[in-house]
Amino acid sequence: MIFVGVDVGSSTTKVVLLDQGKNMLGWSVQRSGTDFAGVAKSGLKQACTKAGLVLDAKEMKTISTGYGRKNVLFTDGDKTEISCHAKGCYHYFPQAITVIDIGGQDNKVIQLDEQGRRINFKMNRKCAAGTGAFLEEMALRLNIPIEEMDGLARQSKEVIELGSFCTVFTATEVLEKIRQGKKVPDIIRGLFLSVIKRVLEMDLFSEQVVMTGGVVAFNPFLKVMVEEMIHRPVLVPEYPQLTGAIGAALFARDIFCNFT
């Protein structure tokens, strides 16, 4: 039996295949686009190909999660993003943790106890500021590829604080910094700082913090900056962008095979 986790996010759709021993057999990441059902099916096919498996629904049990979890036509059930990100992170770090998930459209802070039980969680307000969409918009304003933001932020020599948390107002601030002659690496680090402040204001954190999500996967300097701000090490799972899908696949394993 193969256990499938499908995380249909607002920006990307992730599919993960696990065996009964919780080993990852294959995975895929694709842009979600406008056809959630289609991209979920395509992602499953791609993950099976990567794993060297023939697609056979009879040998698979699937749990879907994420923004478009109800659109996955081949799912056997669904779970919330909160539950799946928590389970995925606890799989890698089985201890009391605070999970920070920075996604394309929202941020989540999830607190787990030593047994992996959720004791609290918070999500950001209905605003794209401080999310992946925020950074994508700022990359367009700066006319740089978003994949270059992390490397440029690491080159920063001056701390620039951007006061506005609103995406629209921040764009105006960025233009003003450019007019003042501020360097692009310093502006990008200021944008990263804005993201981190937005997350840190959401809740108090336990001793051990875990960061996950696609934004952290592609911008690992965010982890370094958080460590500097909270004055302690931060953990990141092996596949931070796939954590939600991994958690969903683990749920499929537990539910349909009665494993613990």
Q: Does pLDDT of 129 surpass 70?
A: no
CB atoms closer than 10 angstroms to residue 143? 7
Q: What is the pLDDT of residue 107?
A: 86
Residue 232, token pair as written in the block: 């302690």
Per-residue pLDDT at 160: 87
Query: Residue 165: what pLDDT?
Result: 65
Decide if pLDDT at 222 tops 60: yes
- CATH number of the domain at 2-83+241-257, out of 3.30.420.40, 3.40.50.300, 3.55.10.10, 3.40.50.10300? 3.30.420.40
Q: pLDDT value at position 228?
A: 92
Q: What is the percent of the chain where pLDDT is above 90?
A: 64
**Tens digit of pLDDT for each residue in 25-79?**
999 999 999 999 999 999 999 999 999 988 776 789 999 999 899 999 999 999 9
Closest by alpha carbon to 75, among 2, 5, 11? 5
Q: What is the pTM (predicted TM-score) of this model?
A: 0.90
Residue type, 61: K
Maximum Cα–Cα distance across the chain: 62
Fold agreement between 2-83+241-257 and 97-236: yes
Confidence (pLDDT) at 122: 86
Q: What mean pLDDT, rounded, does the chain reach?
A: 89
Average pLDDT over residues 2-20: 94
Q: What is the pLDDT of residue 126?
A: 60
What was the pLDDT predicted at 175?
86
Q: What is the pLDDT of residue 89?
A: 96
Mean pLDDT (whole number) for 83-110: 92
Residue 247 pLDDT level (bands cut at 50, 70, 90): very high
Among the listed residues 259, 254, 258, 244, the one whose alpha carbon sits nearest the alpha carbon of residue 90: 244
**In contact, 42 and 32? CB cutoff 8 Å:** no
Options 2.20.25.10, 3.40.50.300, 3.40.50.1820, 3.30.420.40; which CATH number does 97-236 get? 3.30.420.40
| pLDDT band of 202, cuts 50, 70, 90 | confident
Q: How far apart are alpha carbons 127 and 166 in whole angstroms?
A: 8
Report domain extents, the chain: 2-83+241-257, 97-236
- Is residue 138 pLDDT above 60, yes or no? yes
Nearest 5°: CA angle at 136, between 223 and 211? 20
Does the structure show a pLDDT above 80 at 131?
no
Distance CA 100, CA 44 (A): 27
On the question of pLDDT at 259 being above 60, the answer is no
Please check whether residue 71 is in contact with residue 8, taking contact to mean a CB–CB distance below 8 angstroms: yes
Residue labelled with tokens 């004055």? 231
Percent of the chain with pLDDT over 70: 93
Q: Which of 83-92, 101-110, 128-137, 155-164 has the highest mean pLDDT?
A: 83-92
**In sequence order, which residues have a C-beta less than 8 Å from that of residue 143 and are 6 or more positions away?**
none
Please state whether beta strands 24-31 and 12-18 pair in parallel, antiparallel, or not at all (unpaired).
antiparallel
pLDDT at 125 over 70: no
Give the mean model confidence (pLDDT) for residues 125-154. Answer: 84
